[in-house]
Amino acid sequence: MPSVLVTASAAEPVTLAEVKLHLRIDDNADDVLLGALITAARQHAEHDTRRALVTQTRKLVLDEFPSGAITLDHAPVGAITSVLYIDPEGVERTLDAAGYKLDKITEPCRLVPAYGTSWPATRAEINAVSVTYTCGFGAPEAVPESIKRWMLLRIGALYENREEVLTGRAITLAPLPLADALLSPYRLLDF
């Protein structure tokens, strides 16, 4: 089950000024559109790579603890905020941080029971376990430059084809193989 966004990033990886410089736009007439395209490009990059670009908080909800590791579906993971579960009596409990270990080296990141322990028993009901975590490269300045370059190229393509975007017709932008290769090193493998 994919995680859900709890707290969005406070800023975008590229600024409106950077986009306008890239596109050689001197006026403010399309600022609202450009802002929307920045967001769309970031969302596309995050979806395609399964990475959070700027720090955000996500929640992964499971019906029960797995027999082994919990795989966190967005990287890089900064920290675990909480692990909540519903015990067999129906009481929501917070798992003590000493009861689990975060593997930040492996991607996608994994959450495992602490050495010599196992996950606690849960009630047999949907959404009995939730893991809240922060993820992202950090501030916008920490986002890898190749991802920012890809965003600028994608924003340029969307801007040039904005009539298709604004009228709601299906958009089929031509693939940008060289540009899309900029994201390749950051794509998480399927898990």
Between β-strands 92-94 and 56-62, what pairing exists: parallel, antiparallel or unpaired? unpaired
Identify which of 171, 151, 135, 140 has the alpha carbon closest to the alpha carbon of residue 44: 151
Q: What's the pLDDT score for residue 75?
A: 93
Write the pLDDT tens digit of every residue in 2-40: 899 999 999 999 999 999 999 999 999 999 999 999 999
User: What is the H or E stretch that residue 154 is in?
Assistant: helix 145-160
Locate the domains of the chain by residue range: 4-53+140-186, 57-135
Per residue in 41-54, pLDDT (tens digit) is 999 999 999 999 99
96-118 pLDDT, tens per residue? 999 999 999 988 999 999 999 99
pTM of the model: 0.86
Largest interatomic CA distance in the chain: 63
pLDDT value at residue 165? 47
For 143-185, the pLDDT digits (tens) are 999 999 999 999 998 898 776 544 555 555 566 777 888 988 8
Name residue 51's beta-bridge partners: 75
Confidence of residue 126 (pLDDT cuts 50, 70, 90): very high
Assign domain 4-53+140-186 one CATH number from 1.10.3230, 1.10.8, 1.10.3470, 1.10.150.
Answer: 1.10.3230
